[in-house]
Amino acid sequence: MTNSVSILGYFIRPLTVSDVTDDYLKWFDDDEVLRFLEINKTKNDVSSLKDLINYVKRFEVSNDYLFGIFDNSKHIGNITINHIDNDRGTFDMGYLIGNKDYWGKRAGEAGLVFGLRFAFEDLGLRKIFGGIYSKNLTARFLSKKIGFVEEARLKEKGYVDGELDDVIIYTMTRKQWKHLYSGKYDFKF
């Protein structure tokens, strides 16, 4: 596991149960924050601090990783690395900027780039397959800006705003990562 890393002015480190606060819990009560997240479909799964502690604890015993994104000591978002398949070298990633004051301030970019570096360089994985709802244009734009490739469209995979929506599969290989990001971002360990 990695220690705190600084990128684009944010600090990113593994999230622990000591990071579970009322402010963090409030993210799960905000429809705008949850709009495109799978957790939105099971909102009642996280309705108390105890539920949130259990959610964070799950990562201590699973193959997945959960990191917090911080502005100094303020917890503003998360990044997860999941569905890791070590045999095939593949994984998925998710991010959430729960504190809306940080939308449009490159916090999502910091989280995604951190996650890609961690998965490709520390875990030695080979390719990310990430799914984004087609209506989530800001996330799709960010994926494009970061250099993901739109590789597939899964028709009517899930629901957004009560209606069926497609999921777009975005990918990036370790080779593409190295080509795009060699020296581009300043990581401070």
Using CB under 8 A as the binding rule, whether residue 106 contacts other proteins is answered as yes
According to CB under 8 A, which one of 2, 54, 90, 134 is a site residue for other proteins? Answer: 134
> Least distance in Å: CB of 2 to other proteins?
26
For the chain, first and last CA: distance in Å? 13
Burial class (CB in 10 A: 0-12, 13-18, 19+), 22: exposed
Using CB under 8 A as the binding rule, whether residue 71 contacts other proteins is answered as no
- Taking the least distance from each CB to other proteins, the nearer of 141 and 159 is 141
Tokens of 89: 């070298």
- Taking the least distance from each CB to other proteins, the nearer of 46 and 96 is 96
Residue type, 167: V
For residue 13, CA distances in Å to 32, 70, 161, 174 come to: 25, 8, 32, 22
Question: What is the Cα 65 distance to its own chain's centre?
Answer: 10
* Cα gap 21→53, rounded to integer Å: 9
Using CB under 8 A as the binding rule, whether residue 138 contacts other proteins is answered as yes
- Taking the least distance from each CB to other proteins, the nearer of 10 and 65 is 10
- Taking the least distance from each CB to other proteins, the nearer of 106 and 126 is 106
Site for other proteins, rule CB under 8 A: 103-104, 106, 108-109, 134-135, 137-142, 144-145
